[in-house]
Structure 1
Amino acid sequence: MRIAGFEFAEGARFQPGVIKDAKSVGEHIEMLRARCKGELTPDDILEDAKHDNSPLHSFFEWSDTEAARQYRLQQARGLIRAVVAVYVSDDKPAVRQKAYVHIAETGAPHYRESGHAMSQAKTRQIVLQRAWKELQAWRKRYADLVEFSELFEVVDACEGELKRIERR
């Protein structure tokens, strides 16, 4: 099988100012992969992208100050996602759950305590929609693996159930 063309993945996010030419980016990365005897690394990409004339250059933040800030923000997001809360009640065993969920409200994305977010109709819907999109993206990524075909049938059944719930 051969590559017929290149596209960016659905939902791919890039920094402002990126030249979104998937064809030239894909072809350039393929050239680098061939030059690296088929074993491409992120270091290979970064080394090439340092050059102003590389089609990969605009995908990176070259200000060390801003890059450091962006990296620290990514670390902060990872830290928030890593925290698990242990909920207890008198009549049930303890339950572990992500402490915070991301609420991707337009213009004001933020994190909220999971229980609070899921108890409010608007934020619950935002969380469920994001989870569903992530599940669909995972399904697309692994659609060709027959070992997951039964799981995909369950996902299809869930989709019908979710649509039924939304109509209420």
Structure 2
Amino acid sequence: MRIAGYEFAEGVRFQPGAEKDAKLVGEHLEMLRQRYKGELTPEDVLDDARHDNSPLHSFFEWNDGAAAEQYRLQQARGLIRSVVAIYVSEDKPAVRHRAYVHIREPSAPHYRESSHAMSLTKTRKLVLQQAWRELQAWRQRYRDLKEFAELFDVIDEVEKHLKPPRKH
């Protein structure tokens, strides 16, 4: 099997216009992989991207102050996503759930307490849309693994009976 081309995965966010660079980036990453005997590491990619003439250079923030702030924001996102709330009630055993869910409102993406987000029609729809996109992306990523064929069949069956949440 050979690679026929490259594109960026659905939902990735780069600077405007970067989508046209997918072919160049893919080819360059493949060249690096071959250079390093079939293995590609983030360190190899970053080392190459440091050079101004690398096609990967513009995908990185080279201002150390801005990069540090972006990294800290990524750490903050990870921290928010890592918190699990333990919900209790008198008549049921304790239940563990993610405390916060990401709400991808175009004008103001943010996190909201999970049960509150799921109790509101608008935010529930946004969360379900994102969950469905992630399930479809996961399925696409692992579509060639025969070990998951039965699971894919279940997803197909669910899709027939459940109208998946979609954007309008």
Report TM bin, short chain: over 0.9
Select between 102-111 and 8-17 the one with higher mean Cα deviation.
Answer: 8-17
- 1:45-71 Cα deviation digits (max 9, x unpaired): 101101111100010000000000000
- 1:83-115 Cα deviation digits (max 9, x unpaired): 000000010000000000000001111100000
Question: Aligned equivalents of 1:15 and 1:87: distance in 2?
Answer: 40
CA RMSD of the aligned region, Å?
1.8
Question: Aligned equivalents of 1:117 and 1:155: distance in 2?
Answer: 25
Match of 1:46 in 2: 46
State TM-score, norm by structure 2: 0.92
State TM-score, norm by structure 1: 0.92
Contact kept? 2:50, 2:57, Cα under 8 Å = yes
Match of 2:142 in 1: 142
Contact kept? 1:17, 1:58, Cα under 8 Å = no
Describe the SS at the equivalent of 1:163: coil
Select between 24-33 and 104-113 the one with higher mean Cα deviation.
Answer: 24-33
Which stretches in structure 2 are left out of the alignment for 5+ residues? Answer: none
1:41 to partner: Cα distance: 1.1
Match of 2:86 in 1: 86
1:162 to partner: Cα distance: 2.7
Change (3 A) 1:165 1:143: closer
- Opposite residue 39 of structure 1, the aligned amino acid is E
Question: Aligned equivalents of 2:12 and 2:121: distance in 1?
Answer: 28
Select between 31-40 and 70-79 the one with higher mean Cα deviation.
Answer: 31-40
Describe the SS at the equivalent of 2:102: strand
Question: Aligned equivalents of 1:19 and 1:157: distance in 2?
Answer: 33
* Displacement over 6 Å in runs of 4+: none
Match of 1:31 in 2: 31
Question: Aligned equivalents of 1:145 and 1:153: distance in 2?
Answer: 13
- 1:114-143 Cα deviation digits (max 9, x unpaired): 000000011000000100000000000111
Question: Aligned equivalents of 1:57 and 1:78: distance in 2?
Answer: 25
Question: Aligned equivalents of 2:114 and 2:65: distance in 1?
Answer: 33
Change (3 A) 1:165 1:46: closer
- Opposite residue 88 of structure 1, the aligned amino acid is V
